Amino acid sequence: MTAHSTYADFYRQSIDHRDAFWGEQAKLIDWKTPPQQVCDYSNPPFAKWFVGGTTNLCHNAVDRHLATRASQAALVAISTETDTERSYSFAELHAEVQRMAAVLQGLGVKKGDRVLIYMPMIAEAAFAMLACVRIGALHSVVFGGFASGSLASRIEDAEPVAVVSADAGSRGGKVVPYKPLLDEAIALSKHKPAAVLMVNRGLAPMHLQPGRDHEWAPLREQHLNTAVPCEWVESTHPSYTLYTSGTTGKPKGVQRDTGGYAVALAASMKHIFDAKPGEVYFATSDIGWVVGHSYIIYGPLLAGMTTILYEGLPIRPDAGVWWSIVEKYQVTHMFSAPTAVRVLKKQDPAFLTQYNVKSLKALWLAGEPVDEPTARWIGAALNIPIIDNYWQTETGWPILAVANGIEANAARWGSPGKAVYGYHVKLLDEATGEELTGPNQKGVVAIEGPLPPGCMQTVWRDDARFVNTYWKSIPGRLIYSTFDWGIRDADGYHFILGRTDDVINVAGHRLGTREIEESIASHPNIAEVAVVGVADSLKGQVAMAFAVARDASGLTDDAARLKLEGEVMKQVDGQLGAVARPARVYFVTVLPKTRSGKLLRRALQAVAERRDPGDLTTMEDPAALQQVKELVG
């Protein structure tokens, strides 16, 4: 591979000389057997990466650091729910993972078996994930506290030999017992796991079923000094499955490989995050989501960093808690979600200046597009770069970003960045499949195959669903659709405008909800907003907005609410035109969201259209929709 001088050169190498490029990146991890072929794309759209190579994800995340940084902190588990804090060095993490691996093997788990992990954000959850990949088993993490029905469908699909869980999680000081939910899920599921391993935190009583249920602590004691070697697996051996959030009907298990994922994450830590061994990474997500897999557990550990595992809210005990962690542990890299920043925006700004956060290189945000007012506010408050990035559960690492490890590039407000190396990103006309090459043309964000290393191999046990869902939505093209609208400016920065299936068709005009949300969010008294398309007998659809006011103290009567609604409509009118003006702007105290912080736009739309909002098991605050129901009548 020839030398590069700019990011543009680096990106072109990855597309034009794919195998040479990824062969070079493969040197970032350890291989037991070197790969014989970089990419086998003989059966599109299925890509096999680093064929013939054998490696182990746990070895690369933990064991290989023992020679140089055994005493460095690897994992710091902090819970503001239980007021506990514990740091594990790489040597201690290595020992704990082997103990967990020995216990799982004792419960009958072998290479290729699945282990379902239904856990709060505690250290044992990380031990379980790493122990699974250590012995060649696949983990399937389900967000802790998921309702029994959702959990049962995932147990049925993954068919785990064992389940690892805990007595309870805690959120906002409220204990959420897991064992009753798990017992009910197993009762509902056609598949019955042979073993259940329970971590007892002493938060809630739990009944153990004889013969099936086992407590972690006594089994751990039996294996304090048990050595469990890494199982060297083929690069293409699955490392885990992860069910996409918001799935309706049969769960859709994203299946990830081992070698490609390890290389992709190691490369992303170097090229996107400009991360160095010994630095400290704090991702505020949950292991139940893809960010938790890639940038709490695997990515930072692969890079020899300290990773922080946090159980708690961003405002408890107060809105300064995250910044106190940054100061105490000298966090260099922080990764969060725009929703969390908007929550902090409503708090006393003094909390942002109470702690020394000068160790932070940047704050990365993902999960949903970040609006410019929110990004500017947190950037000014922390005096650090705010860097958006865009990706999906399916891809496992960023599709669009700013790769500061290659070339320092300024982030652009409202944009997650440029196409990331390895992703042959195109904007396509939805109707014709024609590629749109000019600046600021709106099209579907699509990726030419093969997908780069680290992306999903397939849908677990359903290759046909993988092909039909992701690769056949653009006419006449076998190309991966992100199902997102986007535009690209003259400098190559992309802007995400919303889901292709969240497009509002108003009297023949196609409008992305994202564009309208951006416009409304720029009003000085709007903290947060969601826009949905609602059926209309005259126009087909109209836009309807639900907004949270930054200062609601003046919205005590209809006249005040109508005044603000009029201001918002006038603003949209001026920025996007009358066709984009919402039919109504309703003011609510909280927007309905999933526990991971994603807005439940589908549920909002259903309520606005007086339909059944469907499965709300992932919803954070059920009362939020009730308020919407009352407003729309």
Residue 154 — very low, low, confident or very high, per pLDDT cuts 50/70/90? very high
The DSSP line for 459-523 is ETT-HHHHHHHHSSSSTT---EEEEEEEEE-TTS-EEEEEEGGGEEEETTEEEEHHHHHHHHHTS
pLDDT computed for residue 627 by the predictor: 83
CA angle (26, 258, 464) in 5-degree steps = 120
Domain 507-632, architecture per CATH = 2-Layer Sandwich (3.30)
Residue 352 has pLDDT above 90, yes or no: no
Domain 7-312+389-482 and domain 507-632, same fold? Reply is no
Quote the CA–CA distance of 23 and 267 in Å, as a whole number: 12
Indicate the average pLDDT of the chain.
92
Residue 501 — very low, low, confident or very high, per pLDDT cuts 50/70/90? low
Domain 7-312+389-482, architecture per CATH = 3-Layer(aba) Sandwich (3.40)
Residue 464 has pLDDT above 90, yes or no: yes
Helix (H) or strand (E) holding 84: strand 84-89
Say whether 571 sits in a helix, a strand or coil. helix
Quote the CA–CA distance of 303 and 69 in Å, as a whole number: 12
Count CA within 13 A, CB hemisphere, residue 140: 27
Residue 4 — very low, low, confident or very high, per pLDDT cuts 50/70/90? low
User: Phi first, then psi: what are they for 384, rounded to 5°?
Assistant: -140, 160
Q: What global pTM score does this model have?
A: 0.86
Residue 580 has pLDDT above 70, yes or no: yes
pLDDT tens, 377-414? 999 999 999 999 999 999 999 999 999 999 998 889 88
Q: Which residues contact 365 (CB under 8 A, 6 or more apart)?
A: 335, 336, 337, 338, 341, 375, 386, 387, 388, 389
Residue 179 has pLDDT above 70, yes or no: yes
Residue 617 has pLDDT above 70, yes or no: no
Give the residue extent of every domain in the chain.
7-312+389-482, 507-632
Structural contact between residues 512 and 485, judged by C-beta atoms closer than 8 angstroms: yes
User: Phi first, then psi: what are they for 174, rounded to 5°?
Assistant: -100, 125
pLDDT computed for residue 540 by the predictor: 78
Residue 429 structure tokens:
């006309």
pLDDT computed for residue 279 by the predictor: 98
Say whether 529 sits in a helix, a strand or coil. strand
Quote the CA–CA distance of 545 and 558 in Å, as a whole number: 17
Residue 615 has pLDDT above 70, yes or no: no
pLDDT tens, 29-74? 999 999 999 999 999 999 999 999 999 999 999 999 999 999 999 9
Nearest residue to 397 (alpha-carbon basis) of 578, 269, 229: 269
